[in-house]
């Protein structure tokens, strides 16, 4: 079974009780359609012969018609309900898996692709259950028609069966081709969405460059491919429709012709011939399944695209907690995309700068340090515990991240700083996103904001920490300060700052550096930087080159190497100039001794 078909089967199981209602109404409606020709035939015979039972047969006809109409009405309601339920479950599954897989998945698929698959494709795949049920319900009239024709006259059954074989072959070929074409069409849709999201992210750059026309052409470049797939889908549908449209009338004529000969021979009554004509229409109604097959093809193609996302393994967490410790970070023989054979020991409470040219592996090292990524080889340990063995809560409490371009998530400024932060107290659960923070939690957020030099500007906002993010326009530096505050609120043992002060003014950066060396000095600090002053202020420096550690020592020692100085693109002004002098701390002495 294909992975897309396995996912469709899971969607069917998660469609909720309305799918059962739809199945009951579809089956009941199919049986009503199946019974109607027989009852109509009996009614015709009763009316022709003026039999006393003609009133009973007329009443039976009316009851069957009412039942069929009721089943259709309830079926429409159930169709919408079960499709909505299935799409909702699939969206939850997809988004949860995408977020659980982390950056590994976002590196493989663009943001536009992820949004398209979790949005449009999830909706299309969510229609699979009702399509399968309503399409399968067409088999009831067809099978019933064959049985009924057999009871009337076996020759009529043989004629109908021969035509049905041709119709089934047409539908099978149509499903196979349509699934491929629908997948190509959806892929082109995702390409356009990805380009549009990139353009929206760079709207200011496009406006400044005045390249609206060029960008529109770039975004819509896949449009001819989208049109070509759409036209091919239309041609395939039309071709299958013509084939089925030719077979069905010919089949009805053939069965009626055979029935006419049997009537002339006296083997059929007029009522039986009328019933046979109706059963032929029902039996040949399998040809009307073309629309259901097309919808199923689109659902299978969409399920296949979502299945690609689900095939990426989610990050698994252990159950261990961290033992008491200072936040010692250790990398043993770590190999990853961009790093090779890294062995490092960062003492607890030490401030370590990570420097190197672009592409040296600085951000990869930062991602490995707090398990935003897992190494392909080796191990990363925090206070002697391998990171994959830690529970999600233990890891989140121990490590705080700040990035160059932080994304602020939440309804308010307080939500953005406290994202994922648990309430104080052992075993406490995270507060609900829409619940107001407790006084203890709000004080912890304010303390983190003060450490990041963000408290002053946050208090100037209309509602302070309760200001909605949409009503709080911020500069790049202010966003970085909130990102730092979020990291300070979380990282109780390890802070990983990936170029997180690049947008700060000189005075603010100096104050943040003083905080890192002062009240946050008890935490281990891993600081990715391009600034020589930041490296000089750190206790030790990790110098990366080509994915390997070229140097790991104090800045003053590394400064004697011309290659190290070239990282900062500066020259020594004289033979006695060692570059910026770092301020020594107790942690620096411990790091130098290690």
What is each CA distance from 179 to 9, 169, 171, 205, 222, in whole angstroms? 16, 16, 12, 39, 20
CB proximity list for 140: less than 8 A, separation 6 or greater:
27, 30, 31, 34
pLDDT tens-digit series, residues 51-88: 777 778 788 888 888 888 888 888 888 888 888 899 99
Encoded tokens for 35: 């019974």
In angstroms, the CA 480 to CA 406 distance is 6
Encoded tokens for 195: 């380009």
Q: Does domain 329-422+438-568 have CATH number 3.40.50.300?
A: yes
Strands in 339-346's sheet, in edge-to-edge order, are 339-346, 329-336, 377-382, 385-386
pLDDT at 155 over 60: yes
Per-residue confidence band for 429, with pLDDT thresholds at 50, 70 and 90: very low
In CATH terms, are 1-152+287-315 and 329-422+438-568 the same topology? no
Q: Mean pLDDT, to the nearest integer, of 434-452?
A: 79
* pLDDT recorded at residue 482: 92
Per-residue confidence band for 564, with pLDDT thresholds at 50, 70 and 90: very high
CA 279 to chain centre: 47
* pLDDT recorded at residue 589: 38
CB proximity list for 566: less than 8 A, separation 6 or greater:
none
Per-residue confidence band for 436, with pLDDT thresholds at 50, 70 and 90: low
pLDDT tens-digit series, residues 351-376: 999 999 988 899 999 999 988 888 98
pLDDT tens-digit series, residues 107-129: 788 888 888 888 889 999 998 88
* pLDDT recorded at residue 1: 53
* pLDDT recorded at residue 423: 57
Q: Is the model more confident about 143 or about 186?
A: 186
Nearest CA to 91 out of 309, 314, 296, 392 is that of 309
What does the domain layout of the chain look like in residue ranges?
1-152+287-315, 154-267, 329-422+438-568
CB of 353 closer than 8 Å to CB of 552: no
pLDDT at 94 over 50: yes
pLDDT tens-digit series, residues 504-556: 888 888 888 888 888 888 899 999 998 888 899 899 999 999 889 999 999 99
Which residues face 485 on adjacent strands? Answer: none
Angle, CA 273 vertex, CA 268 and CA 278 arms, to 5° = 150
Give me the numbers of helices (H) and strands (E) for the chain, helices first please: 25, 10
Pick the CATH number of 1-152+287-315 from 1.10.3210.10, 1.20.1560.10, 3.20.20.70, 1.20.120.80: 1.20.1560.10
Could you give the dihedral angle defined by the CA atoms of residues 42, 47, 51 and 53, in that order, rounded to the nearest 10 degrees? Answer: 60
* pLDDT recorded at residue 274: 66
* pLDDT recorded at residue 287: 60
Mean pLDDT of the chain: 82
Global pTM value = 0.70
């Amino acid at each position: 079974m294909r992975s897309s078909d396995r996912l469709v089967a899971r969607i069917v199981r998660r469609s909720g009780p309305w799918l059962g209602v739809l199945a009951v109404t579809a089956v009941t409606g199919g049986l009503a359609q199946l019974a109607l020709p027989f009852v109509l035939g009996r009614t015709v015979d009763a009316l022709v012969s003026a039999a006393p039972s003609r009133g009973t047969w007329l009443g039976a006809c009316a009851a069957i018609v009412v039942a069929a109409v009721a089943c259709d009405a309830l079926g429409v309601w159930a169709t919408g309900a079960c499709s909505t339920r299935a799409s909702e479950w699939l969206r939850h599954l997809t988004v949860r898996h995408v977020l659980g897989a982390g950056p590994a998945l976002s590196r493989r698929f663009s943001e536009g692709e992820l949004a398209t698959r979790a949005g449009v494709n999830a909706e299309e795949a969510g229609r699979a259950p009702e399509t399968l049920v309503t399409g399968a319900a067409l088999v009831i009239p067809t099978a019933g028609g064959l049985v009924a024709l057999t009871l009337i006259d076996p020759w009529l059954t043989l004629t109908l069966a021969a035509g049905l074989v041709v119709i089934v072959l047409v539908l099978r070929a149509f499903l196979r081709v349509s699934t491929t074409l629908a997948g190509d069409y959806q892929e082109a849709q995702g390409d356009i969405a990805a380009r549009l999201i990139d353009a929206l992210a760079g709207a200011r750059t496009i406006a400044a460059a005045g390249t609206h026309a060029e960008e529109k052409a770039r975004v819509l470049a896949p449009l001819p491919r989208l049109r070509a797939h759409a036209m091919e889908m239309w041609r395939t549908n039309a071709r299958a429709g013509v084939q089925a449209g030719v077979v069905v009338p010919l089949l009805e004529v053939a069965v009626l012709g055979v029935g006419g000969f049997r009537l002339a021979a006296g083997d059929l009554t007029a009522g039986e011939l009328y019933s046979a004509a109706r059963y032929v229409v029902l039996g040949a109604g399998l040809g009307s399944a073309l629309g259901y097959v097309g919808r199923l093809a689109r659902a299978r193609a969409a399920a296949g695209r979502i299945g690609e996302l689900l095939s990426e393994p989610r990050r698994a967490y252990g159950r261990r907690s961290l033992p008491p410790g200072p936040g010692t970070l250790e990398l043993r023989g770590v190999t990853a995309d961009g790093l090779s054979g890294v062995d490092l020991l960062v003492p607890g409470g030490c401030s370590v700068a990570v420097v190197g040219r672009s592409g040296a592996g600085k951000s990869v090292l930062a991602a490995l340090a707090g398990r935003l990524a897992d190494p392909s080889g080796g191990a990363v340990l925090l206070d002697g515990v391998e990171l994959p063995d830690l529970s999600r809560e233990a890891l989140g409490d121990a490590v705080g991240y700040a990035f160059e371009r932080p994304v602020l998530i939440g309804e308010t400024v307080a939500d953005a700083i406290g994202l994922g932060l648990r309430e104080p107290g052992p075993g406490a659960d995270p507060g609900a996103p829409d619940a107001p923070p407790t006084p203890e939690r709000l004080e912890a957020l304010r303390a983190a904001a003060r450490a990041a030099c963000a408290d002053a500007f946050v208090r100037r906002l209309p509602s302070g920490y309760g200001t909605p993010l949409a009503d709080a326009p911020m500069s790049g530096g202010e966003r970085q300060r909130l990102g730092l505050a979020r990291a300070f609120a979380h990282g109780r043992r390890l802070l990983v700052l990936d170029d997180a002060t690049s947008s700060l003014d000189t005075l603010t950066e100096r104050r943040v550096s003083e905080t890192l060396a002062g009240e946050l000095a008890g935490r281990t600090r891993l600081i990715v930087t391009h600034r020589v002053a930041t490296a000089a202020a750190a206790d030790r420096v990790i110098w990366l080159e080509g994915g390997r550690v070229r140097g790991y020592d104090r800045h003053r020692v590394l400064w004697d190497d011309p290659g190290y100085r070239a990282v900062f693109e500066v020259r020594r002004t004289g033979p006695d100039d060692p570059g910026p002098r770092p301020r020594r701390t107790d942690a620096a002495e411990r790091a130098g001794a290690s």
